[in-house]
Amino acid sequence: MAEELQVVPARRGRAVRLAKGQAIQIINTHGSQVVDSWAFNAQDPGEFMSMEHSRGAMLRVNPQLGDTLRSNRRRPMLTLVEDNSGGIHDTLIAACDRYRYEQLGHVGHHDSCTDNLAHALASLGVTGAETPSPLNLFMNIPVGADGSVSFQPPVSTPGSHVRLKAEMDLIVVFSACPQDLVPVNGADCMPRDAHYTID
């Protein structure tokens, strides 16, 4: 039973409930959009998807097809069951926040993935105690042989997607990253809509 196409508007976040066994397909509609992603135990938001716990279990810095992201209690949360985006995602970099934009020289309000997470959770009546390090879908942060990292445009193509299967009842949150000062959302620094379907 495929739901209709839903939007994650450019610069905004969305929270959705996902029952165990359901899957969510996140579509990089324009190909260039990073989608910061989080998951929380639907019964207890103190249990959340943790990149630092997931890396140790996956034995990889970035999830590949078949890999399972784990919680801060080391339990399976989401499994990557489809990926035709090029397989480049990031687990290393924090969500953008107002401090990041201040450091980049922005003055005044700027949307951020950190605020989007809080607002999206609030839309479901949930308060997150913290901002876990996100799974940055489609984000291209290559790690060099010397341990260096760099911020590069996505390699994903328009309409490509990943599909994540819920391993427990979850609240998942997606933010179409509003970063427009460095080219993580494409060389033109233009945040765009992403879309999702649940089945």
Among 33, 37, 41, 50, binds its own copies (CB under 8 A): 50
From CA 196, how far away is CA 186, in angstroms rounded?
A: 20
From CA 124, how far away is CA 27, in angstroms rounded?
A: 22
Which of 7-15, 146-154, 167-175, 190-198 is the region at the interface with its own copies (rule: CB under 8 A)? 146-154
Considering the rule CB under 8 A, would residue 61 count as an interface residue with its own copies?
Answer: yes
From CA 54, how far away is CA 61, in angstroms rounded?
A: 9
From CA 14, how far away is CA 71, in angstroms rounded?
A: 20
Least distance from its own copies to the Cβ atom of residue 173, Å: 16
Among 7, 93, 118, 124, binds its own copies (CB under 8 A): 93
From CA 62, how far away is CA 85, in angstroms rounded?
A: 13
Considering the rule CB under 8 A, would residue 103 count as an interface residue with its own copies?
Answer: yes
Which of 16-24, 35-43, 78-86, 125-133 is the region at the interface with its own copies (rule: CB under 8 A)? 125-133
Among 30, 53, 110, 163, binds its own copies (CB under 8 A): 53
112 Cα distance to chain centroid: 13
Among 2, 59, 108, 109, binds its own copies (CB under 8 A): 59
* Three-state DSSP state, 101: helix
Main-chain phi, psi angles of 154, to 5 degrees: -60, 155
150 Cα distance to chain centroid: 18
From CA 13, how far away is CA 173, in angstroms rounded?
A: 7
Considering the rule CB under 8 A, would residue 97 count as an interface residue with its own copies?
Answer: yes
Nearer to its own copies, 2 or 145 (CB): 145
Considering the rule CB under 8 A, would residue 62 count as an interface residue with its own copies?
Answer: yes
Least distance from its own copies to the Cβ atom of residue 3, Å: 32
From CA 144, how far away is CA 41, in angstroms rounded?
A: 34
Among 29, 133, 156, 185, binds its own copies (CB under 8 A): 133
CA atoms within 13 A on the CB side of 135: 32
Interacting residues toward its own copies by CB under 8 A: 50-53, 55-56, 59-62, 72-75, 92-94, 97, 99-100, 103, 129-131, 133, 143, 145, 147-150
